[in-house]
């Protein structure tokens, strides 16, 4: 069982270790890819420091920031002036991950919609997914859902079946480096995609499903948590530990005025894995501090 968190490490951020140095579009247009390149190099160097910290605290699951390369949809990573150095650092980080059984993943943003019916959105989505896969390839991470790239289906517009069919069609045409890593997650809105919908997709194209416990409360498809959990983890290849997402309600535990779907800073209940072995991605706003508190609260030991 691996425990993980996403992108920002708040403890290290206080020491200016940062994996997502960004810039506004105007700055990017003025300063060009040389500036983006120096940010990217600084980001991947700090990725190494985050992995080192994670290892020290035995957190062997980590979602890398999609913002390591600012405005990457506007260029090719290999065109960056610091590409050779970036490559060396990424290789080193990937080797560290492999040698220490650290699982690394990505979760590209919601604007990546394989189910879109807008050709320009599909083109941009494929480029962005390809670049996520390229970073993983540079790190030497496996082309399998062990190094998963997780997305949502999106693009329902009131017609989920058509969107699922479009997703399947786009998926089938993807290059191996993306397709072999892609996973899909259940949504947090009743009119979006629940595990039942995604099971249909899995039957068509074989894509593994990431079960998000919190989302399931808003979009259950009339499945119990255990039914949805069990069905989702069975979609994974036998030799790869399934991933689940867990978070607590901000509204219920921290701020009654928060949106119902908002994630809390910390984690307020213990994950029920129904006896199965899974890797847990904690989506808590207090990041690694929330995970360490969770482990202490429930007297769990990360190995």
Q: Which residues bind Mn ion (CB under 5 A)?
A: 212, 245
Asked whether the CA dihedral 151, 7, 241, 265 is positive or negative, the reply is negative
Query: Are 41 and 70 contacting, i.e. CB atoms less than 8 angstroms apart?
Result: no
For residues 20 and 186, which CB has a smaller minimum distance to Mn ion in the complex?
A: 186
- Least separation in angstroms between residue 106's CB and Mn ion is 13
Closer to Mn ion by CB, 60 or 245: give it. 245
Q: How far is the CB of 210 from Mn ion (least distance, A)?
A: 7
Strands 243-246, 182-185: pairing is unpaired
Select the residue whose beta carbon is closest to Mn ion and give its number. 245
Whichever of 4 and 155 has its CB closer to Mn ion, that residue is 4
Tokens of 17: 């270790």
Integer angstrom CA distances of residue 221 from 105, 194, 207: 27, 6, 19
CB of 167 to Mn ion, least distance (A): 18
Comparison of 36 and 243: residue with beta carbon closer to Mn ion: 243
Least distance from Mn ion to the Cβ atom of residue 213, Å: 9
What's the CA gap between 106 and 279, in Å, rounded?
A: 14
Do 196 and 222 meet the contact criterion of CB atoms below 8 Å apart? yes
Q: How far is the CB of 98 from Mn ion (least distance, A)?
A: 25
Residue number with CB closer to Mn ion (132 or 245): 245
């Amino acid at each position: 069982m691996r425990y993980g968190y996403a992108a920002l490490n708040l403890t290290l951020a206080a020491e200016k270790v940062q994996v997502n140095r960004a810039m506004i579009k105007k700055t990017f247009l003025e300063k060009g890819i040389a500036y983006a390149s120096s940010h990217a190099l600084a980001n991947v160097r700090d990725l190494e420091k985050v992995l080192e910290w994670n290892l020290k605290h035995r957190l062997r699951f980590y979602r890398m920031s999609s913002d390591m390369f600012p405005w990457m949809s506007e260029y090719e990573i290999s065109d960056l002036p610091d590409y050779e150095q970036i490559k060396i650092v990424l290789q080193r980080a990937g080797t560290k991950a492999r040698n220490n059984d650290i699982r690394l993943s990505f979760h590209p943003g919601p604007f990546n919609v394989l189910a879109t019916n807008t050709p320009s959105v599909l083109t941009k989505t494929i480029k962005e997914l390809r670049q996520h896969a390229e970073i993983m390839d540079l790190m030497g991470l496996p082309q399998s859902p062990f190094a998963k790239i997780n997305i949502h289906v999106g693009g329902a517009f009131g017609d989920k079946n058509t969107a699922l069919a479009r997703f399947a069609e786009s998926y089938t045409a993807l290059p191996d480096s993306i397709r072999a890593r892609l996973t899909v997650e259940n949504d947090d809105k009743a009119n979006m995609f629940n595990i039942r919908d995604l099971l249909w997709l899995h039957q068509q194209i074989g894509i593994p499903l990431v079960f998000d416990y919190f989302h399931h409360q808003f979009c259950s498809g009339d499945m119990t948590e255990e039914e949805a959990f069990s069905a989702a983890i069975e979609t994974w290849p036998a030799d790869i530990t399934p991933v689940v997402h867990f978070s607590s309600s901000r509204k219920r535990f921290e701020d009654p005025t928060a949106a119902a779907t908002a994630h809390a800073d910390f984690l307020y209940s213990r994950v029920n894995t129904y006896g199965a072995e899974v890797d847990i991605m904690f989506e808590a706003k207090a990041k690694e501090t929330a995970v360490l508190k969770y482990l202490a609260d429930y007297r769990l030991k990360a190995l």
